[in-house]
């Protein structure tokens, strides 16, 4: 579901900003980030236990004492999660009889989850540590979100307390340097809708490998809604394979080389796409996270 256009600007860093020179770079766990418990990605839809240990599930209080997990995110250090701005601002109204609630309320985050029905999660006689549920201290959405329409769809969630970093809860890396991932493959993961007819959601973390390419059809299609800017890119476009409702804010990941070997790094965050997920060859649109590295570091 991702394709890149605007002369490939989204896939190459859009400024001269150098990640390593920022004063807050030291807050990123660069030695331990991006490490997966899975040896490699294997074909299929269900992730292996511990394959994406930076995955976060964001909880909302729909009505008083009624909670749902409707968005995803990616942990980048022990207290900071990157997600989509539309997951944390302009939340829709709710009808809760007998209460004063008027909108969803973002509530907490779960880390280290795999199967939403079990805790701890186990696979082939190996069990992970119990999931971590942590309340949210602060939400920082990009000041220019939705200006222009649907652009700057990125937000930072600050946790109330640091996550306990283990082999099951590990931050993902931020990409360092200039990179061109056009015509390569990224991976998107989440617990979102798996069937648009039944609105079934994934009980076990799902993942999908998607092509990243310069897709002029994607750019032309979404121009009717909102022009795709240099801080966005498209990926996917394979009928029957797509991100969907509930995956918003989740990471699109690539494997990048580092001084300590290949590591998963954060390239994009799920933003929006064709209404009927998986029914169109039109790719989905992702926020290009490296475009916002300076803003992220300024705010953590």
Cβ count within 10 A of residue 252: 30
Q: Three-class SS of residue 7?
A: coil
Q: How far is CA 151 from CA 52, 179, 202, 236, in A?
A: 27, 21, 27, 19
Query: What are the CB-based long-range contacts (under 8 Å, 24+) for 215-218?
Result: 215/3, 215/4, 215/5, 215/283, 216/5, 217/281, 217/282, 218/3, 218/5, 218/282, 218/283, 218/285
The sign of the CA dihedral 41, 47, 52, 58 is positive
Contact indicator for 189, 113 with CB cutoff of 8 Å:
no
Tokens 């990926």 correspond to 235
According to DSSP, residue 129 is labeled: P
Residues belonging to the active site: 86, 153, 248
Helix residue ranges, H only, the chain: 216-223, 293-298
């Amino acid at each position: 579901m991702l394709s890149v256009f605007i002369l490939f600007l989204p896939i190459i860093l859009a400024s001269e900003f150098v990640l390593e020179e920022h004063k807050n770079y030291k807050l990123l766990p660069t030695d331990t980030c991006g490490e997966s418990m899975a040896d490699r990605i294997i074909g299929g839809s269900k992730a292996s236990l511990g394959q994406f240990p930076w995955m976060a599930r964001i909880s909302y209080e729909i009505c008083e004492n009624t909670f749902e997990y409707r968005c995803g995110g990616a942990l980048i250090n022990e207290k900071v999660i990157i997600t989509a701005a539309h997951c944390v601002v302009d939340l829709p109204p709710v009808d809760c009889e007998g209460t004063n609630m008027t909108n969803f309320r973002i509530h907490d985050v779960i880390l280290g989850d795999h199967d939403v029905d079990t805790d701890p999660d186990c696979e082939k006689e190996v069990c992970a540590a119990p999931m971590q549920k942590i309340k949210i201290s602060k939400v920082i959405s990009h000041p220019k979100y939705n200006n222009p329409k649907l652009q700057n769809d990125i937000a930072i969630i600050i946790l109330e307390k640091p996550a306990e970093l283990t082999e099951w809860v590990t931050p993902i890396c931020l990409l360092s340097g200039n990179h061109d991932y056009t015509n390569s493959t990224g991976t998107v993961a989440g617990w979102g809708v798996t069937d648009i007819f039944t609105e079934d959601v994934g009980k076990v973390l799902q993942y999908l490998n998607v092509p990243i390419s310069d897709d002029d059809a994607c750019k032309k299609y979404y121009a009717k809604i909102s022009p795709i800017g240099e801080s966005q890119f498209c990926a996917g476009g394979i009928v029957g394979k797509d991100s969907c409702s509930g995956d918003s804010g989740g990471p699109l990941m690539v494997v990048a080389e580092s001084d300590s070997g290949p590591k998963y790094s954060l390239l994009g965050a799920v933003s929006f796409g064709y209404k009927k997920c998986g029914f169109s060859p039109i790719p989905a649109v992702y926020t290009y996270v490296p475009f916002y590295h300076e803003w992220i570091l300024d705010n953590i």
